[in-house]
Structure 1
Amino acid sequence: MIRIGKSMALAACMLLACAGCRKQSGDGTAVNFTAIDWNTAGTISGTIHYSGTPPKRVEIDMAQDPACVFGDKNFTEQYVVNHGAMQNVFVYVKDGLGNRVYPVPSDPVVMDQKSCRYIPHVMGVMIGQPVQFTNNDSTMHNIHMMPQADGNQTVDISQPPNAGSDQRVFHSPEAMIPVRCNNHPWMQAFLNVVNNPFYAVSDAEGHFTIKGLPPGTYTIVADQEKLGEKTATVTVAAKQTAAQDFTYEGVAP
């Protein structure tokens, strides 16, 4: 099973530290943050399966920019399937948390541009948490995003070679926002904006783990960039791990 990502680990630390913390809502009303009770918290864990023969991954020709030619072959990431398990599927808790409000981490999640690829290919961030875009390549990149949800602004940033970084914040939940580079058309990633810290991305073995959940019944969603959403209802008992797999049906190669 995968470990929770760095951003989620940071969020969990903040939740522990913020028991009893308060914030002001938009209308000035005080809101109490919810802290994770690790004495009762449960876990959802599972595997993303792919049934059938996956489409063949296509080799990417990066020759249009000599700075992107590194000698190694590069392949598309739309369907990354290993022995029937699918990588890069975003899994998150959509419903079941009631009126709980969780603190937003101040540390940014990072989307890097390296070897003329976005790294990671799929990631999540909480509403209001900074997203930091960095360029570690010796060529200019462009970060272009066109979110659809109200409150999420278009992003169009050009970053010089080996530049510093730029940060943006998103204010509404929205799944699978495409991130593209206008200079290199093969570059694509997906950002997911959620209103709680309970999310994960499936690893190379298709595994995902979401920790720290209060006991209860939840709607969880798996979202894949080409195959869309799958939904499940999962009941989490105190200090227990609930198993929930998802299976995507094969498409014609």
Structure 2
Amino acid sequence: MKLNSLTIIAAALAAGLTSAVAGNITGKVTLKGTPPAEKEITQLKDDANCGKMHTEPVKTRFYVVGAGGELADTVVMLKGISGKSTGASATPLIVDQKGCEYSPYVGAVQTGQSIVIKNSDPVLHNVHTQPTVAGNEELNKAQMAGGADLTFNFGKAENFLKFKCDVHPWMFSYVTVCDHPYFAVTGKDGTFTIKDVPAGEYTIVALHRKAAAAGMEQKVTVTAEGAKADFTLEVK
């Protein structure tokens, strides 16, 4: 009886150890094909206040791509996971309005995670959220030059939830809201890291507003050594 008890305890400890194993998913997103040339934002250039904040032409950011096809602003996340959000305790995402542009242009948060909007410009902006998923509230708040930060959070998962400025209609930012912490946004080098993913098999999806709005998926198996997941998206 004592031996059986020890065996049961050992098995339980082993199971707990297995469930605690986690690894990082790393990868790179590359764009295949030549994207359309980005266009100068003439509305910004011609604006009496915003135009003088820049010494060089400001262009659209539909495809931020490197010389080797490295694709920025791609949201990479696990699919089919819900109810795992730790957003209430997560570090806020900071979105700044500077030079009459939103930065970052593309971001990602968890449900319940704060999105803090700053205004570093010497002009009035308004922050107008335009969700498409029921349960995420449309809000429209003015933000004076040097005014207090504005904080938003959303309770439902949604891809590319739009933030815009009605005062300056070329200003947009897109924030994807996930119901779990397993996501990342690619940088200018096209790479990403999704940290501390519990060991197991998953579907991982890459989302890009122009090249993969519906997402590109693949299977990935995570171990203590991590996992690799590269994507090649095509110009649409």
Q: Does residue 235 of structure 1 match 2:221?
A: yes
Helix, strand or coil for the counterpart of 1:234?
strand
Matched letter for residue 43 of structure 1:
N
Distance 2:175 2:65 in 1: 20
1:59–1:73 Cα contact (<8 Å) kept: yes
Q: Counterpart of 2:160 in structure 1: which amino acid?
A: M
Question: Deviation of residue 124 (structure 1)?
Answer: 1.0
Confirm or deny: 8 A CA contact 1:128 1:171 kept in the other structure: yes
> 1:161–1:197: structure 2 CA closer, same or farther, 3 Å change rule?
same
Cα deviation per residue 1:162-202 (whole Å; 9 max; x = unaligned)?
21111122010001112111111221110111111111111
How far does residue 101 in structure 1 lie from its aligned partner after superposition? Answer: 5.8
Aligned to 1:79, which of 56, 63, 66? 63
Alignment correspondent of 1:45: 26
Q: CA offsets per residue over residues 210-253 of structure 1, 9 Å max, x none?
A: 11011001111111112211111111112x131111111124xx
Partner in structure 2 of residue 248 of structure 1? 233
Counterpart position of 2:200: 216
Partner of 2:142, secondary structure, is strand
Offset of residue 98 of structure 1: 7.6
- Cα displacement (A) at 1:149: 1.4
CA distances 1:84-139 after superposition (whole Å, capped 9, x unpaired): 111101111122x5875646325422111011110111111111112111111011
Q: Return 5+ residue gaps in structure 1 as ranges.
A: 1-36
Alignment of 1:1-253 (within 5 A): 40-61=21-42, 62-69=44-51, 70-82=54-66, 83-95=68-80, 102=86, 104-105=88-89, 107-227=91-211, 228=213, 229-238=215-224, 240-251=225-236
CA–CA distance in structure 2, aligned partners of residues 218 and 107 of structure 1: 25
- SS of the residue corresponding to residue 196 of structure 1 reads coil
CA contact (8 A) 1:38 1:212 kept: no
Give the C-alpha shift of residue 63 in structure 1.
2.9
Return the letter of the residue paired with 1:118.
Answer: Y
The size of the alignment, in residue pairs, is 213
Distance verdict in 2 for CA 1:108–1:78, change over 3 Å: same
Contact kept? 2:20, 2:198, Cα under 8 Å:
no
Q: Is the 8 A contact 2:27 2:230 kept in 1?
A: yes
Q: Which amino acid aligns with 2:222?
A: V
Larger of the two Rg values belongs to structure: 2
Does the CA-based 8 Å contact 1:90-1:224 persist in structure 2? Answer: yes
Tell me the CA shift for residue 66 of structure 1.
2.4
The one-letter code sitting in structure 2 at the alignment partner of 1:44 is I
TM-aligned CA distance change 1:139 to 1:103, over 3 Å: closer
Q: Name whichever structure is richer in helix by fraction.
A: 2
